[in-house]
Structure 1
Amino acid sequence: MSIVRVAVAILQRPDGQVLMADRPAGKPWEGWWEFPGGKIEAGETPHHALVRELYEELGVKVEKAYPWLVRRFEYPDRHVELHFFIVREWQNEPHGCEGQRLSWQSPSALTVQPVLPANEPILAALNLPPVYAISNAAELGKQGFLDSLKRALDQGLRLLQLREKQLSLDDLRRLAEQVIAISEPYHARVLLNGDIATAREWGFAGVHLSSDKLMTLSERPQDMLCAASCHDAGQLVHAQSLGLDFAVLSPVLPTLSHPGAPVLGWDGFAGLAQGSSLPVYALGGMQQAYIEQAWQHGAHGVAMMRGIWAQA
């Protein structure tokens, strides 16, 4: 069966709501809800198809669209390759040029049903924030880190990795209890950089695997978020094959912790991240100011160990 290539738009407002449309009468899967977009014609790039389809379907002119994910899905009657873009700026108010209904939706609380099966994992990915913080109690000290964490949560941080390799297991557990307690009122999700069983036992929202642990894994845990550190194409491909929730790809830029080490650079990062089926965060020398650049190169966002706490 041949593969139909499709450009798909996630039109996203500043408040995080995304635009969904229903399939109009007379089309396959009539009445099901999906993200707008359409078939990539011969000779078109995915971006060109996206711009054309949004004008034809919604009457909008795209100003800023960022490459995001590429996913394949097998329907009973066809196989599709979906090229997703996050569209954050456009001209004109969207309207259903083909008679389709439109609805702005929160990815975490849909009020429209049914949704095309291919879009369900996309909604989960959209619930990941653009910033992924990594703890740094080793440099800040325990209390200094906890104080910085509270300020960062006040400023909107909602995803954190607890990574403190220097601590004993008992000290790590005590710190984990405090971090989870501080983060819980903000509905921030905390992942443990460690093993799956410990993350589950200690009540973390998920686990973050080192690249070595990733490559030994044959099946992901289903009852928690699961992320991994990747440094090359093989590791990223394995993370995708396991269906992890997201990956961190590094190092993009030089870092204080690894001075003189080879880096990917933005072009190297894009060469690996663009086309990924799962969200990828850029790590290594990152700052909040680099989010736009990360989006342009296919990242979901940026991961920071020092940059996030310097701002908090």
Structure 2
Amino acid sequence: MTVTHVAAAVLLREDGSYLLGQRAADTFYPGFWEFPGGKVEPGEAPRDALIRELREELGIEVVQCFPWIVREHEYEHAHVRLHFFRVTKWQGELQDHVHAALSWQTIGAKSVAPMLPANGPVLKALTLPDFYAITQAARIGADAQLAALEQALKHGLRLVQIRERDMPEPQRTAFASEAVRLIQGFGARALINGDADMALELGADGIHLSARELMALTQRPEFKLVGASCHTRGELDQAIALGLDFAVVGSVNATPTHGMQEGIGWEAFNIIIADCPIPVFAIGGLQRDNMLAAWRHGAHGIAAIRSAWAVDSF
């Protein structure tokens, strides 16, 4: 079946809500809800198609949008390849030109149904925040890390990887236990680096795999949230094949963690994650000020170790 390319928009308001449209009665899947967008015409770039479709469907002019994920789905009538963009700024008032209804939805608490099958998996990806912090208690001390963690959580941090492979037992387990309790107490999610048994024992929200652990797997670990570190497209393809929820790719810039060796840069990062169906965090010498650059190159957001705990990053 010929693949039909579609540009799809995740319109995001400042309060974090996103827009869904209900398909009209005279279309395939009438009554189903979807992200606005439409077919990419021959010779048209997906971004240009997005801008055109939102003008035609909603009467708005896109001011700022970022490439996000690319997913494929086979319907009975078509094989579609959906190029999702996050649209963060636009001009004009929304006008419903093609849908039966429009509805702003809260991330993680969708109130309309049914969802068009191709768009369903995108909802889980939307629940990921754009900043992923990684602990460094073995370097700065458990007490200092817990204090910094609490301050970051108070300022909105919602996704944390507990990564303390160099911390001796039983200090490692004690620190991880206290960190999970603290993180979940703020309604955030805690992932344990590599240790599935510890994650289960402590009631963590999931695990984060190293590239080596990722490549040794034949099936997805049974956790609600599973991410992995990737350095090549082959590793990223393994994460995709296993159905992981996200990946971390880098290092984009030189970092002390990797002996200050030269990073891959944004262009190489962009090539590695091209057309990726799962969200990808960029890592490596990055801080919150680099978020726009990350979004422009297709990243979901930024992962960080040292800069995550700097006072001025909260």
TM-score (norm 1): 0.97
Residue correspondence of structure 1 range 275-290 to structure 2 within 5 A = 275-290=275-290
Q: Which runs of 5+ in 2 are unaligned?
A: none
Distance 1:74 1:222, change over 3 A: farther
Letter in 1 for 2:150: K
Query: Residue by residue, what CA displacement relative to the aligned partner does 1:127-180 show, whole Å, maximum 9, x if unpaired?
Result: 000000000112221100000000000110000000011122422211111011
Q: Which residue of 1 aligns with 2:162?
A: 162
Q: Which residue of 2 aligns with 1:13?
A: 13
Query: Residue by residue, what CA displacement relative to the aligned partner does 1:287-307 show, whole Å, maximum 9, x if unpaired?
Result: 110011100000000001000
Q: Which residue of 1 aligns with 2:47?
A: 47
Q: Is the 8 A contact 2:51 2:61 kept in 1?
A: yes
Q: Is the 8 A contact 1:274 1:297 kept in 2?
A: no
Residue correspondence of structure 1 range 20-99 to structure 2 within 5 A = 20-99=20-99
Q: Is the 8 A contact 2:282 2:303 kept in 1?
A: yes
Q: Which residue of 2 aligns with 1:103?
A: 103
Letter in 2 for 1:151: Q
Q: Which residue of 2 aligns with 1:193?
A: 193
2:216 is aligned with 1:216:
yes
The Cα of 1:224 is off from its aligned counterpart by 2.0
Q: Which residue of 2 aligns with 1:297?
A: 297
Deviates more, 1:272-281 or 1:122-131: 272-281
| In 2, Cα distance between equivalents of 1:75 and 1:168 | 52
Residue correspondence of structure 1 range 243-258 to structure 2 within 5 A = 243-258=243-258
SS of corresponding position for 2:28: coil
SS of corresponding position for 2:146: helix
Query: Residue by residue, what CA displacement relative to the aligned partner does 1:166-207 show, whole Å, maximum 9, x if unpaired?
Result: 122422211111011111221100000013233223211000
SS of corresponding position for 2:256: coil
The Cα of 1:106 is off from its aligned counterpart by 1.0
SS of corresponding position for 2:124: helix
Percent sequence identity over aligned pairs: 45
Distance 1:166 1:302, change over 3 A: same
Letter in 1 for 2:85: F
Query: Residue by residue, what CA displacement relative to the aligned partner does 1:12-52 show, whole Å, maximum 9, x if unpaired?
Result: 01111000000011000001000000000001000010000
Letter in 2 for 1:258: H
| In 1, Cα distance between equivalents of 2:98 and 2:260 | 55
Q: Which runs of 5+ in 1 are unaligned?
A: none
Deviates more, 1:20-29 or 1:97-106: 97-106
Q: Which residue of 1 aligns with 2:264?
A: 264
Q: CA RMSD in A?
A: 1.1
TM-score (norm 2): 0.97
Q: How many residues align?
A: 312
| In 1, Cα distance between equivalents of 2:52 and 2:21 | 17
Q: Which residue of 1 aligns with 2:233?
A: 233
The Cα of 1:99 is off from its aligned counterpart by 4.6
Distance 1:138 1:195, change over 3 A: closer
SS of corresponding position for 1:42: coil
Letter in 1 for 2:235: Q
| In 2, Cα distance between equivalents of 1:293 and 1:140 | 29
